[in-house]
Amino acid sequence: MAQGGPVFEPWETGHSEPVDAVAAAELSGWYATGDTGQDAVEIRDIRQQLMRRITRTELQVLLPWMTLDQGNDGPRALAWTDSGRGLFLVVCDDAASPDGLGSDAVVRYDTTTDQLSVFARGEIGDASGPAPAVMHYAGRLWLSTDAGDVRVYEATRNTTSGVLLSSWAMPSGELARGFGLARELGLGFAVSETGLYRFDLLQGSQVPELVGPLSGARGIAYSDHFGNDFQEGAYILTGTGITHVPKFQATGLLAFNPILYASLDTPAHDLDRTPCGRLLIGGDGGAQILRDDQDSRLDFESWVLDEFEQVTAFAEGLVAPDGEPAGWVIDADTASGASRFHPPSPDAAAWVIMLEIAKDHLAGNQASIGTVRDILRRYAGHMPDGISPSMSADGIMHHWYSPWSGDAAPGWSDEYATLSTMLIVMAADRARRFYPGDSDLVGAADTIINRVRNWDHYIQPGTNAMYFRAIGSGGPDFGTASSPYNEGVIFIEQAAAYGEATSALTFWLDRASLPEAEYVSGLSVTTNWPNNHLPAFVSLYPYIAQHATRDSVVWNRHIENSLASHGAWVDDNAPRFMTVFSAGTTKPEWGGYHADSLSDHPGDVAAFTSLMAFSSSGQTAPSVGAYHAYRHGARQSFATGASMLYRRSNIDPAYTPGDAGLPDVVIGALGLAELIKPGTGDAVLAIPYRPECPADLSPPLGELNFFDVSIFLGAFNAENPAADLARPFGAFNFFDISAYLNAFGAGCP
């Protein structure tokens, strides 16, 4: 072995047959193997869990003219789109087609709809001859044939049948045995049995340029993150080994002098680079995954744990970081070396609480309860320093606070924000359920929830629109109505639990009644205005934190369609990273802080935290896309000391955001939590609201009696926050006694 330290590991296929074709999506965690012995294709995730098996029976139904059997006919080449939304299977058969349309076919499998379709037909390859080559990039499909030509088809997001755009021939009539993609270089590579060729991906008809001679070549993968930083280049199956052509040789800047990278024990037929920095290989001995022991980056599983810890460090580092009174949570951190300038917010506090609950659930972290208690006591006004957050007469909190007075932060909007209130109520409910034995914590959570009044007043009659702002004396700001759908569905659920808004919640959760947008034909997403796409976080907030959304087939389909729609954009536009559009910091000329969406995304900024949040579904593929970005140096360092993924522009790679908001960041870690411990979301984050009965203080719960009154009076005399039920909070007086007696008289729900 002339270079590196190759380490081969088996890749699960569920059978002992040879593997004839392999493929991996470049920007997302989708892997596939195909074999002609069973005429089957297996799709797996990075953990080698079987996601789908395409069988001979399915292919035979789709391609009825073929005579698929245990011979060499069947799926001979595979290619993923970048996002893993589509998989192309080149199926060859020697039997002539009776309809004269060609005996071979390109089949497209859609991972979102689980549908197979015929993309193209023609004479592609002899089942007993060299396998064809296929590659997808930027909405185009390259396909080689045994006639020596390379056909380029349109294969954009709504293309169901291949449209031939151009074709060109390999030199001297040679057959292309494999294609490789050098994304950052804008180059494609093709290997014939005798040579390596280079071509421009953006050109139509062209003459490939010879890079150098080879012997017995039959497959190629180009990777810019396999092994260490010096191992970028083309990896080619030649003879009984894998040959490495380094980057500068492949581009013609250095003389052609390929290196034998690794020897193979059994003949191999195909290989592909993976998004996780390895090579997937298929051969007579089955499938293998190859890594290099000089790769100093974290592997995927280690990265998942580390990314979660980095976000936790980021979040915990914003709890009173610069001498503020305990429990205030600063809304955002700045890039390393810059001074913080954001004030505290209920939004930031809420997401830190949710993250601490998840962390404690994952690993039994003993420090989490203290952090949660301090935050809740601060935002409830229960801290002994007397600094209490001001709010409207209905208990609606400001969006921004001065940590020194509890009033609205000077120089920032003084709005009373229902969305901010919604988030802290959400977090308070989860916290009191997760830590029921901590009376100070539960008392603070109860105060935050119970002080919100007149929930139904913040829902517009007739339209069910939600008012985003309140006025100080009580009631909504009628000029701030926002129609469904948006993240306010969480508020609507709270209004149904603590108020009388059941019918409004039913309306908000009925996708059939809400506006829709389509980026991909047939994959509708719910929105607030017809054909207007929303930022990803709008759907991810409720998907992470709302049982009614997570438990719904139609809302799960909405989430799947949203991810697939972003995947379609990626597949057509060939960005550097797997990209979803969401809110966050951008360049001043792009809006400064911008709520990016498929409808409006200046700078084409990839929001990695929202990408990871899609893994709240339990799917690893989105987070593998984020891991791919980590492997390409996309992490950013912050003043808290955290180094983590946030946002990167596909247009300006040098751009680094100057700050990152907690609400935009934490959802990514909560998506990873589902991968660390499956079921986390349903267990502690997305649980139904359970209105507490403030008068029911003693067992048996659900029954009001003398003991409840006795405990209340004891708490009142001790000035325990559990007895602080009425304004002004922090003062124990007749109004608290009156509020308790009214609750006792009303009984428990």
- Could you report the per-residue pLDDT of 315-370, keeping only the tens digit for each? 999 999 999 999 999 999 999 999 999 999 999 999 999 999 999 999 998 899 99
The domain boundary, picked from 265, 292, 319, lies at 292
Helices 346-363 and 300-316, packing angle to 10 deg: 140
CA distances from 401 to 340, 342, 409, 417, 594 (A): 15, 10, 4, 12, 22
DSSP string, 257-302: --EEEEE-SS-EEEEEE-TTS-EEEEETTEEEEEEETT--SPPHHH
Say whether both 266 and 349 belong to one domain: no
Say whether both 212 and 316 belong to one domain: no
Cis peptide before 18 (omega within 30 of 0): no
- Closest by Cα among 23, 167, 14 to 86: 23
The CA-to-CA distance between both ends of the chain, in Å, stands at 73
DSSP E strand boundaries for 377-473:
416-417, 466-467, 469-470
Residues paired with 459 in a beta bridge:
466
Separation between Cα atoms, residue 83 and residue 559, nearest integer Å: 15
At position 626, the amino acid (one-letter code) is: A
Residue 676 maps to a domain: yes
Residue 651 maps to a domain: yes
Say whether both 73 and 47 belong to one domain: yes
Coil, strand or helix: which one is 24? strand
Task: Please classify residue 298 by burial: count the beta carbons closer than 10 Å to its beta carbon, then call 0-12 exposed, 13-18 middle and 19+ buried.
Answer: middle
Residue 629 maps to a domain: yes
Number of residues assigned to the chain: 749
The domain boundary, picked from 654, 685, 716, lies at 685
Say whether both 723 and 680 belong to one domain: no
Q: Centre a 10 Å sphere on the Cβ of residue 510 and count the other Cβ atoms it contains.
A: 12
- 186 contact partners, CB below 8 Å, separation of at least 6: 200, 201, 202
Residue 699 maps to a domain: no
Q: What is the pTM of this model?
A: 0.93
Residue 253 maps to a domain: yes
- 656 contact partners, CB below 8 Å, separation of at least 6: 335, 636
pLDDT at residue number 287: 97
CATH number of the domain encompassing residue 499:
1.50.10.140
Separation between Cα atoms, residue 23 and residue 273, nearest integer Å: 8
- 678 contact partners, CB below 8 Å, separation of at least 6: 618
CA atoms within 13 A on the CB side of 323: 0
DSSP E strand boundaries for 56-205:
74-80, 86-92, 104-110, 115-122, 134-137, 140-144, 149-154, 163-169, 178-182, 187-191, 195-200
Q: Position of tokens 């649980």? A: 687
Separation between Cα atoms, residue 711 and residue 443, nearest integer Å: 14
Separation between Cα atoms, residue 297 and residue 741, nearest integer Å: 62
Say whether both 454 and 556 belong to one domain: yes
CATH number of the domain encompassing residue 70:
2.120.10.30
- The torsion defined by the Cα of 306, 27, 542 and 402, in degrees rounded to 10, comes to 60
- The torsion defined by the Cα of 372, 373, 376 and 382, in degrees rounded to 10, comes to -160
Separation between Cα atoms, residue 476 and residue 655, nearest integer Å: 40
If one counts the domains in the chain, the total is: 3
* Tokens describing residue 334: 């700045």
DSSP string, 610-652: HHHHGGGGS-SHHHHHHHHHHHTT--EEBTTS-EE--EEESS-
Q: Position of tokens 């294969």? A: 155
DSSP string, 709-736: HHHHHHHHHTT-GGG--SSSTT--SHHH
Say whether both 194 and 157 belong to one domain: yes
- The torsion defined by the Cα of 245, 249, 252 and 255, in degrees rounded to 10, comes to -120
Coil, strand or helix: which one is 660? strand
- Per-residue DSSP letter, 681: I
CA distances from 416 to 308, 470, 487, 555 (A): 32, 5, 17, 30
Say whether both 216 and 161 belong to one domain: yes
Say whether both 347 and 457 belong to one domain: yes
Residue 690 maps to a domain: no
Separation between Cα atoms, residue 454 and residue 448, nearest integer Å: 14
Separation between Cα atoms, residue 156 and residue 140, nearest integer Å: 7
Q: Position of tokens 């492997």? A: 631
Q: Position of tokens 């609201």? A: 689
Task: Assess contact for 171 and 206: CB atoms under 8 A.
Answer: no
Say whether both 711 and 679 belong to one domain: no
Say whether both 280 and 166 belong to one domain: yes
The domain boundary, picked from 292, 320, 345, lies at 292
Separation between Cα atoms, residue 96 and residue 90, nearest integer Å: 16
Q: CA quadruple 219, 220, 221, 226: dihedral positive or negative?
A: positive
Say whether both 668 and 559 belong to one domain: yes
Residues paired with 160 in a beta bridge:
none
Q: Centre a 10 Å sphere on the Cβ of residue 514 and count the other Cβ atoms it contains.
A: 17
- Per-residue DSSP letter, 97: P
pLDDT at residue number 2: 42
Task: Assess contact for 416 and 391: CB atoms under 8 A.
Answer: yes
pLDDT at residue number 532: 98
pLDDT at residue number 1: 36
Residue 86 maps to a domain: yes
Task: Assess contact for 70 and 126: CB atoms under 8 A.
Answer: no
- Per-residue DSSP letter, 682: I
Residues paired with 482 in a beta bridge:
466
Say whether both 218 and 98 belong to one domain: yes
Residue ranges of the chain whose pLDDT lies below 50: 1-2
Task: Assess contact for 481 and 465: CB atoms under 8 A.
Answer: yes
**Structural domain containing residue 737:** 706-746
- The torsion defined by the Cα of 192, 197, 199 and 201, in degrees rounded to 10, comes to 50
Residue 443 maps to a domain: yes
- 245 contact partners, CB below 8 Å, separation of at least 6: 196, 211, 212, 233, 234, 235, 236, 256, 258, 259
Q: Position of tokens 């005429």? A: 39
Separation between Cα atoms, residue 408 and residue 270, nearest integer Å: 63
